[in-house]
Amino acid sequence: MPLRYLTRGRISANAPLSSPRALGGLALVVFALELGVMAIIAAVQNRSINLLDLSDAIVLSLTTTMLFHLLLLRPLDRELAERLQALQQAEEASQHASTELRQYRDTLDEHAIVAVTDARGRIIEVNDQFCVISQYSEQELLGQDHRIVNSGYHGAEFFRDLWDTIRSGKTWHGDIRNRRKDGSYYWLSTTITPFRNGDGKIDRYVAVRTDISALKETEARLLRMTELLRGAGKIAKVGGWEFDVLTNELTWSEETCRIHEVSPGWKPDISKAIEFYAPESRPIITAAVEHGMKYGTPWDLELELITALGNRVWVRAQGASEMVNGRCVRLFGAFRDITDEKRAKEALRAATESAEAANRAKSELLATMSHEIRTPLGGVIGCLQVLLEAELNEDEAETGRMALQSARALLDLLNDVLDMSKIEAGGLELEQCAFELAPIVREVIALATNAVGPKPLRLSAEISEATPSVLGDPTRVRQVLWNLVGNALKFTPQGSIQVRLTAVDAVLRVSVTDTGIGIRPEAMGRLFQRYTQAEASTSRQFGGTGLGLAISKNLIERMHGQIGASSEPGVGSTFWFTLPIADQQLSGERAA
């Protein structure tokens, strides 16, 4: 830095003490002083100053100036230059630090919430962010303490600990929930630092805060979700687990610990966890874990384990892998106690087997009884037929016919019971062959015509010459067709009954249409159930067990066909069934 020095009564900052200009000025000063001394001496001696005196004065002034410079001014000039350079560097550093400090404060004000209080806790300074988040103006805040934003969430002990910390000269850190001017709440991560004055006493506190309201809301949601999952897992007896392959750390949820009957938070290693499984289950779970780690294969197993208290329980163990670049880094899954379900299934299986055994025994009994009863009943029917061929008067003949009709009805009932018993016992065998259906239809129509009696009914059949063969059991198909036609006879007091054969795609449809009493829509769903009839009164009026249609449905479906019905009360009904066509090429030509 240039040195300011005195020359001819003026301050100059153009040259240092060691410059020629400075030396010239110093020489003039010395020469002037010497000349003054010579003038005083000359006046005392009463003589004048001559040229020699002037030359001596000049030589003396130059010599004195050089000596003065060498002995005093040059070292002084060097020292002053060094000090001034140091001062210049210090000033530049101070300006740089001041600029950085201002930048730091601007950054802090931009991203942080700052407040300064005095030693009593009165607010003496706030930044804009404090005003924005609290909704108070600077004028409303200055002179107040922080009770103005106190939410009441924290107790007295909380603030007592805060003040004890900062009054002892330590920095306090913590999270505080405050209240805005409109009454809403916000959370702040807070750091409060005490500052001391020149006497070493704390005279102010600086609080720097950041808004963590969103983080606190997320934490609250996660906490609620965790509690929800914990509660749901406890109710459903479902736990979770996680194995970090990189750290070899296994973590169990609270419910998983409960299932194993260990204390919550217990952390086993993976080998110890596998040892909980029953000996017969360990190879299975070990293989599943190894495949999961090697190939990322998930597993879902029902295995038995032995708890820490020695109890045997069944669990459903599920697992999956997290693979990164073809390497397993994590295994995770669910763990559910299914002991009660296993016991319930076992009890249900035992009950089902018992019920099935009882049902088979019942069916076998019914089949035996039906068979044993049918033999003597056949003899009764034969005797009645022989009796009716004898010479009887009108009353005796009518009685005989009624007895024969009842015997035949009883035989039909026994046949139905026998068939249903065989079906339930799984002993009903069907033949599967190709046959012509037209002759069976004509035979059933002939039998039905003879059974019409005095009813004004017309029976007919619509059979095409090109009706294809079908696959099934011809005896059982005749039984189904006679069942449908017999029902039509029973529920049709007058009108007509028609049997129609229609080839549709790969099946032959057989339909029986009558003009009888019909069936109400709400009763249609009960048609093919066992021991039920469409109307409760029909069994009393027309007789029957309600087994015929159920047996027909079973027989047709076992022959790979379908059966159904449509009806309108007071108009009539149509019952139909389908059978697969034997000649598929012919059926394809018909569909085309």
Same domain, 535 and 557: yes
pLDDT of residue 13: 42
Q: In Å, how far from its chain's centre is CA 9?
A: 93
Residue 148: band (very low, low, confident or very high) from pLDDT cuts 50, 70, 90: very high
pLDDT of residue 540: 41
Same domain, 448 and 468: yes
* Strands of the sheet with 507-514, listed across from one edge: 457-462, 495-504, 507-514, 572-580, 563-568
Share of the chain above pLDDT 70, in %: 76
Residue 590: band (very low, low, confident or very high) from pLDDT cuts 50, 70, 90: very low
Same domain, 82 and 184: no
Opening angle at CA 328, ends 322 and 331, nearest 5: 55
Q: What is the dihedral of CA 97, 99, 101, 107, to 10 degrees?
A: -150
Out of 106, 123, 154, pick the residue that ends a domain: 106
pLDDT at 6 over 60: no
Distance (Å, whole) CA 534 – CA 134: 78
pLDDT at 350 over 70: yes
Q: Is the separation of the CB atoms in 418 and 371 below 8 Å?
A: yes
pLDDT of residue 17: 52
pLDDT at 11 over 60: no
pLDDT at 127 over 60: yes
Same domain, 333 and 352: no
Out of 282, 303, 337, pick the residue that ends a domain: 337
Same domain, 313 and 368: no
Same domain, 193 and 150: yes
Same domain, 71 and 154: no
pLDDT of residue 544: 52
Q: Is the separation of the CB atoms in 413 and 545 below 8 Å?
A: yes
For the segment 309-347, what is each residue's pLDDT rounded down to a tens digit?
Answer: 999 999 999 999 999 999 999 999 988 899 988 888 888
Residue 446: band (very low, low, confident or very high) from pLDDT cuts 50, 70, 90: confident
For the segment 514-561, what is each residue's pLDDT rounded down to a tens digit?
Answer: 999 988 888 887 788 765 555 544 444 444 556 788 888 988 998 999
pLDDT of residue 406: 79
Which CATH number belongs to the domain containing residue 355 in this structure? 1.10.287.130
Extract the tokens encoding 426. Answer: 């799984």
Same domain, 406 and 434: no
pLDDT at 3 over 50: no
Distance (Å, whole) CA 24 – CA 65: 9
pTM exceeds 0.75, yes or no? no
Range of weakest confidence among 51-60, 300-309, 521-530: 51-60
Q: Which of residues 354 and 228 earns the better pLDDT score? A: 354
Residue 12: band (very low, low, confident or very high) from pLDDT cuts 50, 70, 90: very low
Mean pLDDT, residues 123-127: 91
In 426-537, which residue ranges form alpha helices assigned H by DSSP? 438-450, 474-491
DSSP 8-state secondary structure symbol assigned to residue 72: I
pLDDT at 592 over 70: no
- Largest separation between any pair of C-alpha atoms in the chain: 212
Mean pLDDT, residues 375-379: 77
Out of 211, 235, 258, pick the residue that ends a domain: 211
Tracing tokens 């059974």 back to the chain, one arrives at 451
Same domain, 234 and 183: no
Distance (Å, whole) CA 227 – CA 221: 10
Range of weakest confidence among 148-152, 199-203, 360-364: 360-364
For the segment 82-92, what is each residue's pLDDT rounded down to a tens digit?
Answer: 777 777 777 77
Number of domains in the chain: 5
For the segment 409-440, what is each residue's pLDDT rounded down to a tens digit?
Answer: 777 777 777 677 667 666 677 888 999 999 99
Q: Is the separation of the CB atoms in 296 and 323 below 8 Å?
A: yes
Q: Is the separation of the CB atoms in 259 and 337 below 8 Å?
A: yes
Which CATH number belongs to the domain containing residue 154 in this structure? 3.30.450.20
Opening angle at CA 284, ends 282 and 285, nearest 5: 70
Candidates 356, 516, 511; CA nearest to 426 is: 356
Distance (Å, whole) CA 87 – CA 96: 14
Same domain, 122 and 92: no
Distance (Å, whole) CA 295 – CA 331: 12
Distance (Å, whole) CA 570 – CA 533: 17
Same domain, 322 and 407: no
Distance (Å, whole) CA 299 – CA 325: 21
Burial code (b: 16+ CB inside 10 Å, e: under 16) for 291-327 equals ebbeeeeebeeebebbeeeeeebbbbbbbbbeeeeee
Neighbours of 94 (CB within 10 A): 10
Mean pLDDT, residues 470-489: 90
| Mean pLDDT taken over the chain | 81
Q: Which helix (H) or strand (E) holds 458?
A: strand 457-462
Which CATH number belongs to the domain containing residue 532 in this structure? 3.30.565.10
The radius of gyration of the chain's CA atoms, rounded to the nearest angstrom, is: 58
Q: The domain containing residue 297 runs over which residues?
A: 219-337
pLDDT at 304 over 60: yes
Same domain, 29 and 72: yes
For the segment 242-278, what is each residue's pLDDT rounded down to a tens digit?
Answer: 999 989 999 998 889 999 999 988 888 888 999 999 9
Task: Answer left, alpha or beta for residue 167, where phi above 0 means left and psi between -120 and 50 means alpha.
Answer: alpha
Q: What is the dihedral of CA 582, 585, 587, 590, to 10 degrees?
A: -150
- Burial of residue 242, with CB atoms counted within 10 A of its CB: 0-12 exposed, 13-18 middle, 19 or more buried: middle
